Amino acid sequence: MSVVLGAASPKALWYLTRGTGVVTLLLLTASVVLGTVTSVRWASGRWPRFVLEWLHRNISLVVLVFLALHVATAVIDTFAPLRWIDAVVPFSSAYRPVWVGFGAVALDLLVAVAVTSLLRVRVGYGTWRAVHWAAYACWPLALIHGLGTGSDTRQTWMLAVDAVALACVTVAASWRIAAGWPGRTGGRVAVLASTALVPVALATWVVVGPLQPGWARTSGTPARLLGSSGGGP
């Protein structure tokens, strides 16, 4: 795969990085929502539980495929100084270290979830379930990574994609919280209120951060790349 991608033009690699990043976010959103639906044991005549579980499992695997392509194209593209190790070791990148670091954390968590799912019988249900909860952390980390590093963050269509994804996960998480912890009404209300504040906090950060002029510099883009007209953003 590296040989094939390496033969592509810088522009092609840049478009592949952007495209696979968006697709990964959408698939991860679908995986989280389906995981929530199965966790509350919802089903219908048209959508029995085994179908929902099958979709959740297979979409999660496809997420890993597109994530691998996203990482490979980003590293092979010579515009940004990204190394393979930056994809797995958080906050080690010379290019926007904090925001690339969030993506690395999300990747590590997704790999941990995938590995424990494949080895579920060996690691035990308790360990699998504990690690599987990390999937809920993968999604916001991936979203923040995309907002902080994505070259399409200011585009109206990309903001719409992020907003729809955020709304879907917020509703799904609220449903999961409302359906859980029987007899703990106070706890559910407190967590639901906190969940409702997350989109507000995220939207505020986007307005004062990535949407502001000069974000490329403040986010940690190396000075030699600022204003570059190369294959990257």
Regions of the chain with pLDDT less than 70:
1-10, 180-188, 227-233
Q: Is residue 230 part of a domain?
A: no
pLDDT digits (tens, 9 = 90+) for 61-83: 999 999 999 999 999 988 888 99
pLDDT score, position 88: 93
From residue 163, alpha-carbon distances to 2, 3, 56, 155, 174 in Å are 33, 36, 22, 12, 16
19 exposure class (CB count in 10 Å sphere: 0-12, 13-18, 19+): middle
Q: Is residue 187 part of a domain?
A: yes
Q: Is residue 232 part of a domain?
A: no
- Domain interval for residue 181: 2-225
Residues 6+ apart with CB under 8 A from 10: 77, 78, 79, 230, 231, 232
pLDDT score, position 168: 93
Q: Is residue 193 part of a domain?
A: yes
Q: Which two tokens stand for residue 105?
A: 């954390």
Q: Is residue 146 part of a domain?
A: yes
**Cβ-contact 107, 75 below 8 angstroms:** no
Q: Is residue 173 part of a domain?
A: yes
Q: Which two tokens stand for residue 76?
A: 């092979």
pLDDT score, position 230: 43
Residue type, 163: A
Query: What integer best gives the mean pLDDT of the chain?
Result: 86
Q: How many domains does the chain have?
A: 1
pLDDT digits (tens, 9 = 90+) for 173-215: 888 777 766 666 666 677 777 778 889 999 999 999 999 999 9
CA atoms within 13 A on the CB side of 159: 9
pLDDT score, position 83: 93
Q: Is residue 231 part of a domain?
A: no
Q: How far apart are CA 64 and CA 24, in angstroms?
A: 8
